[in-house]
Every structure is written in C-alpha cells, then in structure tokens.
Amino acid sequence: MVIFGWRTTIEQLRMLRLVCGNCHHQSAHHLYRRRTRPTLFFIPLFTISSKYGLQCTFCGVSYDITKMHADQLVG
C-alpha cells in the first residue's frame, strides 16, 4: 500500500508596515510564501507550486503577489 498526497505549507517571510489597498490604513502586513508539494508516505518530495502573498493585520484581506514583487519587498 502506497500513501500518496499533497501538502501545502505557509512560511512567513517578513512583517512589513504598508498602507493596505483595501482598508487604506497603514498597518503591519504578513509577507508569506505558500508551497505545495506531493508527499509519499507523508514525506514531502519536491515543490510543484510556490506562490507569494500579503495579508493585512488590520482588516484581514489577503492577496497574491508575484515573486518579483516579493523579492523587492524583502530586499
């Protein structure tokens, strides 16, 4: 019997202070990376999808951004 599945992990990269596009408050934003990997016997194998996003801590809105935009915010 082979146990195969998918695992998605969210890793916080940085905490930034930005003006939210939704609520227009200057507040902290979580910059995160969401990775999806296939698993074999609960062991993650390789990354098949990697997406970046920002989440406002004031209103809770979350939206995806590009890798290039995430790299600019980190650097």
Question: DSSP for 22-51?
Answer: TT--EEEEEEEEEEEEEEETTEE---SEEE
- In angstroms, how far is the first alpha carbon of the chain from the final one? 46
What is the tens place of the pLDDT at every residue in 49-72?
Answer: 999 999 999 999 999 999 999 999
Tell me the mean pLDDT in the region 2-7: 88
Q: What is the pTM of this model?
A: 0.83
Q: Closest Cα to residue 13, out of 48, 57, 53?
A: 53
Q: What was the pLDDT predicted at 31? A: 97
What is the tens place of the pLDDT at every residue in 16-48?
Answer: 999 999 999 999 999 999 999 999 988 889 999
Band the pLDDT of 3: cuts 50, 70, 90: confident
